[in-house]
């Protein structure tokens, strides 16, 4: 038998039917649903008089448009409140488990899937959200879909799909102190560009990936879409199995599940359509300077100069980004003042991220000119952080410790930058206005964010370690 990649193995296991000329009908093991991309899909079901085919394989939460103010307060934004109520009603009507704002399992959809043991190796998993690739860290084939496809999966548990090309990203070598999983993925995106992975699914491989914790692997997989890849995954190993063990939705016959999961890693000799290598030891902390996540540089490097770019459209794109960011070309970002530091999002709001940020902030104060928001990814993360006293460290340093949700990553819930403000953010997108109309975002790791919170200017965390 031809050697297969893990991507092909999971694909093959989930093909329900294939007809000549048509995409494969692919079975979806787990469908995660949130309030923003689902209401029109449920409307579609109602219009057709359809039921949800597998409510037992569908889990919902509210995260995007929900406030991070104390729970129990009403949602002030009436449109957001209606959207949250709509999801809760849809879940009641169609028999779907919803972890809403009153649940201790609520959180960002990509945080709670792994945390509850819902996400498991070898699964196909979809959600109406482009950061669904996060779940690939567990060895699942997970990708974002649009609302039409949400409706398809609700009605049939299936998707019409063509196979993507396979892309091996090899990351080898030991990371230096102060360099994190976030820096690996920002460096990859800077290397391949934000369209570099289009049409591909990435498998992250190599000693540096194996050395990462499960949460760090989630950070890497999370931003696959920022490199244009619809999905990214890491083959499961003992770390994966230990992570899943004991979680609420872990398989009952765990040993049998592990035996099957051990067959998932790519076969020796499997061929990828594309391969790229990164030397982890050569990486520095990364930061973005522009208006897409591919515009990233090592923190000590200079912002690129458009006059050095030969392609006219590329040059104009870079110039436009620097005009929006109001940054001079040719200078490093270190020392640039910021107004806000945001620590959160499905990229970097897990307990290990909060521990890393708290490690920098412990015994220090945030610069009084900077508003610092720490938003745990879920209620479980929040509870764990509080049990460890991290909330106290954040509060004593002068940071704002908030309730769980997407918050200022997407700025739908009132947590947002004011026009012209600069943030260092641990989130995944620095598009124009992403964190609030007119806001300007520098993407970086939790360590860099915490260091910047202390000094009030963009800071190389290695100077504080």
Partner 1 sequence: MKFESAYVVNRNQREVSPKHFESAYVVLPIDNIDTDQIIPARFLKTTSKAGLGDQLFNDWRYDASGAPKPDFVLNQPDAVKAHVLVAGDNFGCGSSREHAPWALTQFGFRAVVSTSFADIFKQNALKNGLLPIVVPADLHAALIATPGAIVEIDLEKQTITLADGRSAEFPIDPFSKHCLLEGVDELGYILSQSAAIESYEQRRGI
**Residues between 241 and 280 that touch partner 1 (CB under 8 A):** none
Closest CA to 388 of 356, 366, 365, 342: 356
433 binds partner 1 (CB under 8 A): yes
Q: Are 407 and 432 in contact (CB under 8 A)?
A: no
Under rule CB under 8 A, which residues in 333-392 are in contact with partner 1? none
Under rule CB under 8 A, which residues in 112-151 are in contact with partner 1? 128-130, 144-149, 151
**Cβ of 390: how many Cβ atoms within 10 Å?**
24
Q: Identify which of residues 59 and 411 has a Cβ nearer to partner 1 in the complex.
A: 411
Structure-token pair, residue 71: 């729970």
Q: Which stretch binds partner 1 (CB under 8 A): 46-54, 253-261, 331-339, 348-356?
A: 46-54
Burial class (CB in 10 A: 0-12, 13-18, 19+), 20: exposed
**What is the nearest approach in angstroms of partner 1 to the Cβ of residue 354?**
24
Q: Which stretch binds partner 1 (CB under 8 A): 47-55, 105-113, 210-218, 250-258?
A: 47-55
Q: Which stretch binds partner 1 (CB under 8 A): 23-31, 169-177, 268-276, 366-374?
A: 23-31
Q: Which stretch binds partner 1 (CB under 8 A): 267-275, 348-356, 434-442, 444-452?
A: 434-442
83 binds partner 1 (CB under 8 A): yes
Q: Which of 5, 37, 68, 425 binds partner 1 (CB under 8 A)?
A: 37
Element (H, E) at 424: strand 422-425
Number of shown-chain residues binding partner 1 (CB under 8 A): 71
Under rule CB under 8 A, which residues in 180-239 are in contact with partner 1? 194-195, 198-199, 225, 228, 230
320 binds partner 1 (CB under 8 A): yes
DSSP string for residues in 294-351: T-EEETTSBPPPGGG--SHHHHHHHHHHHHHHT--TTSBSTT-B-SEEEE-TTTS-SH
Under rule CB under 8 A, which residues in 390-419 are in contact with partner 1? 410-412, 419
Q: Identify which of residues 130 and 459 has a Cβ nearer to partner 1 in the complex.
A: 130
**What is the nearest approach in angstroms of partner 1 to the Cβ of residue 83?**
5
DSSP state of 107: B
In 3-state terms, the chain is what percent helix, strand and coil (to 5)? Answer: 40, 20, 45
Residue 205 to residue 53: CA distance in whole angstroms: 36
Under rule CB under 8 A, which residues in 85-104 are in contact with partner 1? 86
Site string for partner 1, 153-182 (x = CB under 8 A): --xxxx-x-x-x------------------
65 binds partner 1 (CB under 8 A): yes
Residue 134 to residue 347: CA distance in whole angstroms: 8
Q: Which stretch binds partner 1 (CB under 8 A): 72-80, 97-105, 178-186, 370-378?
A: 72-80
DSSP state of 6: H
**What is the nearest approach in angstroms of partner 1 to the Cβ of residue 131?**
9
Q: Are 134 and 234 in contact (CB under 8 A)?
A: no
Three-state SS string over 224-291 comes to: HHHHCCCEEECCCCHHHHHHHCCCCCCCCCHHHHHHHHCCCCCCCCCCCCEEEEEEHHHCCCEEECCC
């Amino acid at each position: 038998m031809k050697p297969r990649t893990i991507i092909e193995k999971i694909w093959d296991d989930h093909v329900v039917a294939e007809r000549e000329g048509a995409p494969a009908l692919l079975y979806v093991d787990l469908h995660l649903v949130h309030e923003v991309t689902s209401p029109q899909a449920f409307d579609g079901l109602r219009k057709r008089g359809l039921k949800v085919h597998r409510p037992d394989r569908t889990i919902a939460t509210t995260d995007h448009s929900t406030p991070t103010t104390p729970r129990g307060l009403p949602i002030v934004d009436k449109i957001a409140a209606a959207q949250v109520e709509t999801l809760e009603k849809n879940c009641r009507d169609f028999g779907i488990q919803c972890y809403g704002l009153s649940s201790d399992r609520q959180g960002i959809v990509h945080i709670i899937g792994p945390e509850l043991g819902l996400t498991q190796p070898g699964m196909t998993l979809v959600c109406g959200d482009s950061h669904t690739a996060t779940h690939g860290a567990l060895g699942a084939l997970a990708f974002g879909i649009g609302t039409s496809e949400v409706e398809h999966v609700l009605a049939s548990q299936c998707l019409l799909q063509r196979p993507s090309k396979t892309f091996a990203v090899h990351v080898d070598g030991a990371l230096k102190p102060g360099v994190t999983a976030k820096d690996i993925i920002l460096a990859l995106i800077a290397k391949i560009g934000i369209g570099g992975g289009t049409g591909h699914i990435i498998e992250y491989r190599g000693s540096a990936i194996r050395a990462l914790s499960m949460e760090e692997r989630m950070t890497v997989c999370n931003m696959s879409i920022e490199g244009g890849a619809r999905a990214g995954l890491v083959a499961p190993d003992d770390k994966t199995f230990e992570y899943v063990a004991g979680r609420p939705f872990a398989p009952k016959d765990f040993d049998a599940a592990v035996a099957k999961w051990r067959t998932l890693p790519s076969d020796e000799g499997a061929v990828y359509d594309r391969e790229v290598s990164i030397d982890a030891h050569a990486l520095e902390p990364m930061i973005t300077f522009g208006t897409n996540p591919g515009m990233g540089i090592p923190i000590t490097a200079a912002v690129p100069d458009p006059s050095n770019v030969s392609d006219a459209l590329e040059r104009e794109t870079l110039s436009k980004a620097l005009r929006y960011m109001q940054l001079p070309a040719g200078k490093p970002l270190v020392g640039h003042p910021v107004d806000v530091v945001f620590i959160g999002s499905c990229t970097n709001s897990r307990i290990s991220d909060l521990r890393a940020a708290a490690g920098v902030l412990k015994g220090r104060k945030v610069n009084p000119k900077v508003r610092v928001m720490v938003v745990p990814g879920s209620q479980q993360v929040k509870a764990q952080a509080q049990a460890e006293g991290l909330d106290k460290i954040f509060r004593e340093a002068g940071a704002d410790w908030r309730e769980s949700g997407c918050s200022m990553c997407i700025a739908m819930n009132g947590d947002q930058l004011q026009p012209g403000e600069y943030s260092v953010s641990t989130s995944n997108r620095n598009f124009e206005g992403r964190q609030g109309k007119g806001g300007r975002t520098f993407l970086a790791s939790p360590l860099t964010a915490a260091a910047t919170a202390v000094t009030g200017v963009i800071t190389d965390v290695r100077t504080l370690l």
